[in-house]
């Protein structure tokens, strides 16, 4: 039996979701967005090439991808609260070590440890846990979490700039580490503990043979592979645009202050996109909204081509990119559950996280390679093309569902 998130007992259950939402906000700000917030500062202070620096985040997310199936199995085994709480704490400890680095090898090695923490503490693990525990009410819970956690980038970018100016980048990283350890980790652990406690019966733990059979059956379905291609395209698109946004704008003659301000718009616009989805999802369905999201990021990238001549277009890009990408974090688990079912969801989601997180892992470094090969115009066009590829996959998924349901679907 799963949690009933309606009725007289709903309020304390939503309180547990709120704790998770705040924990996710802090974890994302400290364990992911801190990289983009401090990238230009690291380049200026340490004197390392951008390709060398971006290897840190690439290595982190590759580790997160490699660990995702194991994390999914641990969540299916009922250990979700420990995964989320301890994962966040490990990330905080690694951030503390990051503040001491003196060479690029140590920088990359510590980001690999942060990658382990990302796998256990960010959306992939959190949403697998929430889907497992709340069942049919997962979409509502995930939406509420993302409405709050979407503010993480809006916190990380200004905080990184202010703290780096006041304390230097090492002091800034230490502050992030302290907040993640003292606030983020307890919120994740206790929020997950409370949410799990409200289940009338714990979700049944699948035997290993049952889990393997469910994962094998999922892999044999074309829906699995369409999802495995589509959402990594979104990860590549957003990872490139986010991590290169500030230097991209500076190269095109836009001031760093304006670039930081525009970057801070992305997070709030993610919240706007999620609010719009909450109003439209019953009429349009998850797949139709997915089409709008992939089309949105493709068009948003093209807005930047004209931003050199019309700098205010960076805000139009940030608004469209944020709103379109913002709904993806909800759509990915929802589309997966609707297409492949909830049996062994943690393990299936973990396997689908491999290409998705690999997209994030490749994004910063791929963006740097494209920049060195051509210029940031090439980066922008490539990012737009990734959105188109994802859109085509979602269209194929929609057609497949429609044909199987006798002409209805959404």
3-state SS, 55-100, equals HHHHHHHHHHHHHHHHHHHHHHCCCHHHHHHHHHHHHHHHHHHHCC
pLDDT at 231: 94
Tell me the average pLDDT across 113-140: 88
- Sequence ranges of the domains in the chain: 10-404
pLDDT at 36: 83
Tell me the average pLDDT across 378-399: 92
10-404 CATH pick, 1.20.120.1080, 1.20.1250.20, 1.10.3720.10, 3.90.1150.10: 1.20.1250.20
pLDDT at 200: 46
Q: Is 175 exposed, middle or buried (0-12, 13-18, 19+ CB in 10 A)?
A: middle
Confidence tier at 204 by pLDDT (50, 70, 90):
low
The percentage of the chain sitting over the pLDDT mark of 70, rounded to a whole number, equals 91
For residues 383 and 240, is the Cβ–Cβ distance under 8 A? yes
Residues 6 or more apart whose Cβ sits within 8 Å of residue 158: 260, 264
Task: Please say if the pLDDT value at position 405 is more than 60.
Answer: yes
Higher model confidence: residue 309 or residue 174? 174
Tell me what the pLDDT averaged over the chain comes to.
84
pLDDT at 225: 93
pLDDT at 329: 80
Tell me the pTM: 0.77
Residues 6 or more apart whose Cβ sits within 8 Å of residue 152: 24, 25, 26, 28, 29, 32, 33, 267
CA distance 339 to 227: 9
pLDDT in tens, 320-340: 998 898 888 888 888 888 888
Confidence tier at 8 by pLDDT (50, 70, 90):
very low
Tokens of 18: 């709120």
Place of tokens 């302290």: 178
CA distance 90 to 130: 21
CA distance 391 to 291: 6
For residues 106 and 385, is the Cβ–Cβ distance under 8 A? no
Where does residue 45 fall: left (phi above 0), alpha (psi -120 to 50 degrees), or beta otherwise? Answer: alpha
């Amino acid at each position: 039996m799963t949690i009933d998130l309606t009725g007289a007992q709903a309020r304390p259950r939503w309180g547990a979701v709120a704790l998770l939402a705040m924990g996710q906000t802090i974890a994302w700000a400290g364990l992911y967005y801190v990289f983009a917030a401090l990238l230009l500062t690291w380049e200026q202070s340490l004197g390392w090439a951008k390709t060398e620096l971006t290897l840190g985040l690439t290595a982190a997310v590759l580790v997160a991808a490699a660990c995702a199936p194991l994390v999914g199995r641990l969540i299916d085994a009922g250990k979700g609260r420990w995964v989320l709480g301890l994962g966040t704490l490990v990330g905080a400890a690694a951030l503390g070590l990051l503040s001491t680095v003196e060479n690029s090898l140590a920088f990359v090695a510590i980001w690999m440890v942060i990658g382990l923490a990302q796998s256990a503490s960010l959306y992939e693990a959190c949403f697998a846990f929430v889907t497992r525990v709340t069942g049919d009410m997962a979409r509502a819970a995930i939406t509420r979490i993302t409405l709050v956690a979407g503010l993480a980038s809006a916190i990380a970018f200004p905080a990184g700039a202010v703290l780096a100016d006041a304390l230097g980048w090492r002091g800034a990283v230490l502050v992030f580490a302290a907040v993640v350890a003292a606030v983020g980790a307890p919120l994740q652990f206790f929020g997950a503990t409370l949410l799990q406690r409200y289940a009338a019966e714990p979700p049944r733990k699948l035997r290993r043979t049952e889990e393997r059979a469910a994962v094998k059956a999922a892999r044999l379905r074309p829906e699995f592979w369409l999802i495995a291609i589509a959402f990594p395209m979104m990860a590549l698109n957003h990872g490139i645009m986010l991590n290169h946004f500030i230097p991209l704008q500076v190269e095109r003659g836009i001031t760093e202050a304006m670039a930081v301000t525009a970057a801070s718009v992305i997070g709030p616009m993610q919240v706007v996109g999620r609010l719009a989805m909450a109003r439209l999802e019953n009429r349009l369905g998850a797949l139709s909204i997915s089409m709008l999201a992939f089309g949105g990021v493709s068009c948003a990238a093209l807005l930047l081509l004209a931003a050199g001549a019309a700098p205010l277009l960076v805000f139009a890009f940030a608004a469209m990119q944020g709103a379109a990408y913002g709904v993806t974090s909800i759509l990915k688990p929802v589309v997966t559950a609707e297409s492949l079912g909830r049996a062994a969801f943690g393990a299936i989601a973990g396997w689908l996280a491999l290409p998705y997180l690999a997209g994030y892992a490749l994004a910063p470094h791929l963006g740097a390679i494209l920049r060195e090969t051509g210029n940031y115009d090439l980066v922008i066009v490539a990012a737009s093309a990734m959105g188109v590829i994802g859109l085509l996959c979602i269209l194929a998924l929609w057609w497949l569902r429609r044909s199987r349901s006798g002409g209805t679907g959404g």
